């Protein structure tokens, strides 16, 4: 447990929602967390499960499946170290409408709902920090949905790939290569692009040296170059210069 706690403290000090909160709040959260390990392919929680608490990813990555009203659950978004998932069900006190599954072996921090209540009772102002997690999730969702409305299938595919790599808005400092645990078929499905079309676009990007393709895996080699391929991003960049 001590090893896990040290690793989690390092991750959550520099990445994601918790890194942007005050030290006292971050300490209160981590002190109440329980360390967990989940094997690749196993469910962290399923659609319909009760709202037991929230999960923070220390190592590895996991995928989120949404429960659509008119269709079956589908692969939607990958999250990695620093990400926290599951707040909405806790706030609404309703069963989960998204599933959360380990893509690789993951190490997690689990904060029980009761522990969240303890933190808020001790400092009523801390509810704002939990609210910022939901606001951040909403911003990511809105950005993702906005990209899915792109008419150009190539741009749509590139934007989704950047989202999956956690580098849609900017490239993380000190990162040379970003690994995405998603195959061409999964990416095509998420971007609503045909498999043949997706394959052609991705192979073109590989030839350009911007990505590297492997079985059920894509390495992003040049995230800045990929973002430059998105018309509105390029226009915004030129205006700011």
- Give how far Cα 35 sits from Cα of 16, 32, 68, 134, 238, Å: 18, 10, 31, 22, 45
- CATH number, domain containing residue 123: 2.60.120.10
| Structural domain for 225, as ranges | 153-240
Q: Are 19 and 119 within one domain?
A: yes
Number of domains in the chain: 2
> How confident is the model at residue 170, as a pLDDT?
84
- Retrieve residue 218's tokens: 């894509």
Confidence of residue 237 (pLDDT cuts 50, 70, 90): very low
- Whether residue 202 sits in one domain with residue 158: yes
Judgement on whether residues 125 and 189 belong to the same structural domain of the protein: no
Which residues neighbour 97 within 8 Å (Cβ) at sequence distance 6 or greater? 47, 66, 67, 88, 89
Is 241's pLDDT higher than 90?
no
Phi and psi at residue 80, to the nearest 5°: -125, -160
Check whether residue 8 and residue 127 sit in a common domain.
Answer: yes
Provide the percentage of residues in the chain whose pLDDT is more than 90.
59
pLDDT in tens, 156-187: 999 999 988 888 888 877 778 888 888 898 88
Q: Does residue 214 sit in the same domain as residue 132?
A: no
Q: Around Cβ 223, how many Cβ atoms within 10 Å? A: 22
**pLDDT surpasses 50 at 239:** no
Across the chain, which distance is largest between two alpha carbons, in Å?
A: 56
Asked whether residue 3 carries a pLDDT value surpassing 60, the answer given is no
Among the three residues 125, 147, 169, which one is the final residue of a domain in this structure?
147
What are the tens digits of pLDDT across the range 188-217? 988 989 999 999 999 999 999 999 999 888
40 and 71 assigned to the same domain = yes
User: What pLDDT score was predicted for residue 8?
Assistant: 59
Q: What's the CATH number where 229 sits?
A: 1.10.10.10
Cβ neighbours for 152, distance < 8 A, ≥ 6 positions apart:
231
144 or 70, greater pLDDT: 144
Q: Are residues 89 and 161 in the same domain?
A: no
Average the pLDDT over 73-83 and give the result.
Answer: 76
For residues 63-82, average pLDDT: 70
Whether residue 127 sits in one domain with residue 163:
no
Question: Are 59 and 116 members of one domain?
Answer: yes
DSSP secondary structure string for all residues of the chain: -HHHHHHHHHHHHHSTGGGGS-HHHHHHHHHT-EEEEE-TT-EEE-TT----EEEEEEES-EEEEE--SSS--EEEEEE-TT-EE-HHHHHHT---SEEEEESS-EEEEEEEHHHHHHHHHH-GGGHHHHHHHHHHHHHHHHHHHHHHT-S-HHHHHHHHHHHHTT-SS-PPTT-S-EEE---HHHHHHHTT--HHHHHHHHHHHHHTTSEEEETTEEEES-HHHHHHTSHHHHHHHHHH-
Q: Which two tokens stand for residue 15?
A: 């990445």
- Give the residue-averaged pLDDT of 63-79: 67
Cα gap 83→164, rounded to integer Å: 12
What's CA 206's distance to the chain center, in Å?
24
15-39 pLDDT per residue, tens? 889 999 999 999 999 999 999 999 9
What's residue 238's pLDDT? 44
Check whether residue 115 and residue 212 sit in a common domain: no
Judge whether residue 70 has pLDDT over 60.
no
Of the residues 102, 129, 147, which one is the last residue of a structural domain?
Answer: 147
From 129, 147, 165, the end of a domain falls on: 147
Rounded Cα distance, 221 and 231, in Å: 20
Distance CA 37, CA 165 (A): 22
45 lies in the same domain as 82: yes
Same domain, 41 and 132: yes
Render pLDDT for 110-161 as a digit per residue (tens, 0 to 9): 999 999 999 999 999 999 999 999 888 777 878 888 898 999 999 999 999 9
């Amino acid at each position: 447990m001590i090893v896990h706690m040290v690793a989690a403290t390092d991750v959550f000090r520099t990445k994601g929602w918790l890194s942007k909160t005050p030290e006292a709040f971050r300490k209160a959260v981590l002190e109440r967390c329980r360390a967990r390990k989940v094997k690749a392919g196993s469910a962290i929680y399923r659609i319909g499960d009760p709202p037991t608490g929230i999960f923070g990813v220390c190592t590895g990555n996991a995928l989120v499946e949404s429960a659509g009203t008119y269709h079956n659950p589908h692969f939607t978004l990958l999250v990695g170290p620093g990400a926290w998932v599951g707040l909405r069900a806790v706030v609404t006190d309703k069963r989960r409408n998204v599933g959360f599954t380990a893509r690789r072996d993951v190490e997690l921090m689990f904060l029980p709902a009761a522990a969240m209540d303890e933190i808020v009772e001790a400092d009523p102002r801390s509810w704002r920090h939990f609210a910022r997690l939901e606001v951040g999730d909403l911003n990511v969702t809105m950005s993702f949905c906005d990209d899915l409305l792109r008419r150009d299938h190539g741009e749509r595919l590139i934007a989704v790939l950047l989202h999956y790599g956690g580098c849609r808005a900017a490239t993380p400092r000190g990162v040379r290569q970003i690994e995405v645990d998603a195959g061409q078929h999964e990416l095509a499905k998420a971007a609503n692009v045909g498999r043949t079309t997706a394959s052609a676009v991705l192979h073109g990007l590989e030839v350009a040296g911007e990505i590297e393709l492997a079985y059920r895996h894509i390495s992003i080699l040049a995230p800045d170059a990929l973002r430059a391929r998105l018309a509105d991003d390029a226009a915004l960049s030129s205006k700011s210069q």
